[in-house]
Amino acid sequence: MNSIISDIRETARQLLADGKVDVVIGYEKGSLPLKATPCFVRSPQDADKLIWDETCENNLAAFATKTAGKKAIVAKGCDSRALVVLMQENQLVKDDLYVIGVSCQGVIDKKKIEAETGEILEAIIAEGKLSVKGIACDKEFNFIDVKDATCQTCRYPNPVIEDIHIGGSVEVPQQTVAFADVIEMENRTDSERQAYFQEQMKKCIRCYACRNACPMCYCSECFVDCNSPKWLTGGVDRAENLLFQAGRVLHLAGRCVDCGACSRACPQGVDIRALNRKLTKDVSEMYHHEAGISEEVKPALNVYSADDPEAFLVKE
């Protein structure tokens, strides 16, 4: 067991024993290989369930809003950014939250591995390598080659807020071109982009796993489930899928923390990130705002000023 895991467990044990929190939200080993699962530890004896490794992919902030009482939460950089946004939106109260910050080396893109090995039957992670036994073949991977796309360009691997920090920090990788992926998409012709997104929307089965994994999708009634007005039927077709994704991404403008949880949750491999990232780039350019990087900076779309790029917002 590495020292990060033992320190997380000891911190959780102590917080629960001292009655400082009612629950510690962290990760435990999942029932499938290379899959950790969120866990809710409520007694000091259960703290030994907690783990920490490259399979801890969920954004745990999504569970903080749904868990009553005082809670401690194990937070990577992106989880901590989501916690900041949720506090700014009055969905979480700082006094009820204890952030166990852990710097993050990135998480595994399981779909990339399964594309080569077929369904994963067994896997061992050790010293930057993964040995995978799959249904189609066995293969060894370097972690860097199967790191999630989001983590390849992550600029906030270290928690932006925390009450305690476990382990060391991670050096922030230098980006050669910011939003290179979005620029590549912007440089395509209209018809190329249309064809790309039509292809993506064809794959969607509207299971809403992307929405459910997202810490920012906390509405008690999502617009897709609304009966009056009824935006979408229960059926799945490309136009309605696009309406869902367009609505979702607009609701996330200036709020998405680029954690990739939605893309990883998608069973169909839909490139949801392409839409999220375009909106993130636009908000960054128009409002000079990045979601959740500071508790002090107000969310981009909650601030009004006379030089707002949308002239209709300003009454002369």
Closest separation in Å from C-beta 237 to ligand SF4: 12
CA distances (Å), origin 232, targets 5, 198, 201: 45, 18, 15
User: Is 11 in contact with 166 (CB distance < 8 Å)?
Assistant: yes
Q: Provide the H-helix boundaries in the chain.
A: 3-17, 61-64, 77-88, 110-117, 149-152, 180-186, 190-203, 209-213, 238-251, 261-265, 272-287
Task: Between 21 and 249, name the residue whose CB sits nearer to ligand SF4.
Answer: 249
Task: Between 49 and 111, name the residue whose CB sits nearer to ligand SF4.
Answer: 111
Closest separation in Å from C-beta 61 to ligand SF4: 9
Q: Which residues bind ligand SF4 (CB under 6 A)?
A: 59, 76-78, 104, 106-107, 150-151, 154, 157, 204-210, 213-216, 252, 256-262, 265-266, 268, 270, 272, 276
Task: Between 14 and 284, name the residue whose CB sits nearer to ligand SF4.
Answer: 284
Closest separation in Å from C-beta 284 to ligand SF4: 14
Closest separation in Å from C-beta 252 to ligand SF4: 5
Closest separation in Å from C-beta 212 to ligand SF4: 8
- φ, ψ for residue 124 (rounded to 5)? -125, 130
Task: Between 38 and 215, name the residue whose CB sits nearer to ligand SF4.
Answer: 215
Are β-strands 23-29 and 138-142 bridged in parallel, bridged antiparallel, or unpaired? unpaired
Closest separation in Å from C-beta 82 to ligand SF4: 6
CA trace torsion 64, 69, 71, 77 (10° rounding): 30
Task: Between 16 and 77, name the residue whose CB sits nearer to ligand SF4.
Answer: 77
Closest separation in Å from C-beta 242 to ligand SF4: 11
CA distances (Å), origin 125, targets 32, 54, 105, 308: 14, 8, 13, 49
Cα(182)–Cα(45) distance, rounded to whole angstroms? 47
3-class secondary-structure state, position 210: helix
Contacts of 48 (CB under 8 A, 6+ apart): 9
Task: Between 169 and 194, name the residue whose CB sits nearer to ligand SF4.
Answer: 169
Task: Between 295 and 308, name the residue whose CB sits nearer to ligand SF4.
Answer: 295
